[in-house]
Structure 1
Amino acid sequence: MSFQDGFQDETIMVEQARALDELMQDIVRSSTIKHAAVGAAVGCGLVVVAGSNAAGCAKAAAAGGLVGAISGNISGKRKVNQRVELVSANALVRSIRKSNDKLGQVNENLPAMLARQDDEVKTLKDLKASGSIDTKVYQMRLAAIRENRAKLAQALLLSSQQASTAKDNLHEAASQGQSGLEWHINAIDQMERETLSARSLISLL
């Protein structure tokens, strides 16, 4: 592989890592509790309300009749038939799947690219030692590889931080009464661990 081919390979890798970070930002947005709904929903029995009474309860809570709304909901003993979603589980699934696909590309391509860079650095050192290339050429290419690795490391670190934030968001939604988020939390936790693992492969030379 020529130096030019190596540069193109590295550019693609950085683009993949940055795309992963952008997708992880989507997960954070999808996992963020819609705070406008929380105030009214929590007042209706920890976001679990009877479907026929949801609008009335939220209205009463917003109007300051919080205690009456809760006690009316409990005393009526209505069957719970609707759960208020604090975060969109369906949107999260879509974002998680897209992120997993991109993370799969990163995990597949990163080790080989790093190995090629290591080989190239060794070759550059040998060429420099033999006088086949001058010091300036050697230093320019080495600096380019270091910059590439720094960008990759930063993008992967940001992705892991996004995953951590999203997990916290989902734990908060679960604590406020939304159920069915276990798969989402586990999937995001796995992505956090994988992005940190990928980051650990990168030495900055």
Structure 2
Amino acid sequence: MSFGLNAQIDSKNKSFAIPAVKAPKDSLDSKPLLPAKPDLKDKLSSLDFPKPLPELNLPKKEFSMFPSEEFANPGELYTKKLEKIEKALLPEGHGENSGLKEDAYWGDYRTTSKYINIQYRDHGMIDGDLLRVIVNGDVIRSREYLSRGFNGFKLNLEEGFNKIEFYAINEGSALPNTAQYRIVDDKSSVITGKVWALAAGVKVTIIIIKE
């Protein structure tokens, strides 16, 4: 009885092969992963570039005859300009107790004016300086006393050359004869002007040419 039971058990326990199931191929690539390259076009389009600034119309620097200088006080600049102009007008021999010892020719100037105004004054101490004015050989003012303010006269110009002479009669009480003259056209523009220091008896000549 025990034998038959064992046989039944053996028959039920017959071994059988389980077919191997083939594993699906691994989908992962064995190669190392590299970061994706960014799309440069997309990157540039996403950036916010600054907008170009509008052009600034800066004011142009005005032309000036005088060099550019910085002064805390505007009056100081004005004084310096006057000093430079005055030095440019000073003739040779100007200075304390000095004077031009010889007659001098101070140039010729052209104008279309019908007339000019000849003006003069004492440039130094009011000390009795006297002046004579001669035009084309004729004495127009024989004995002009030089004061602080400008005095003078109007002169109708002849066609061509007009010879103007300033003659220092004396040197006053404070040597030498110190004066300033200027010649102004019919539009109130200065044609020429100068500061002098003349010894007594010295004459300076200017030619005005009417065109």
TM-score by length of 1: 0.18
State the structure with more CA Rg. 2
| Greater relative contact order, per chain length (Cα 8 Å cut-off, separation 6+) | 1
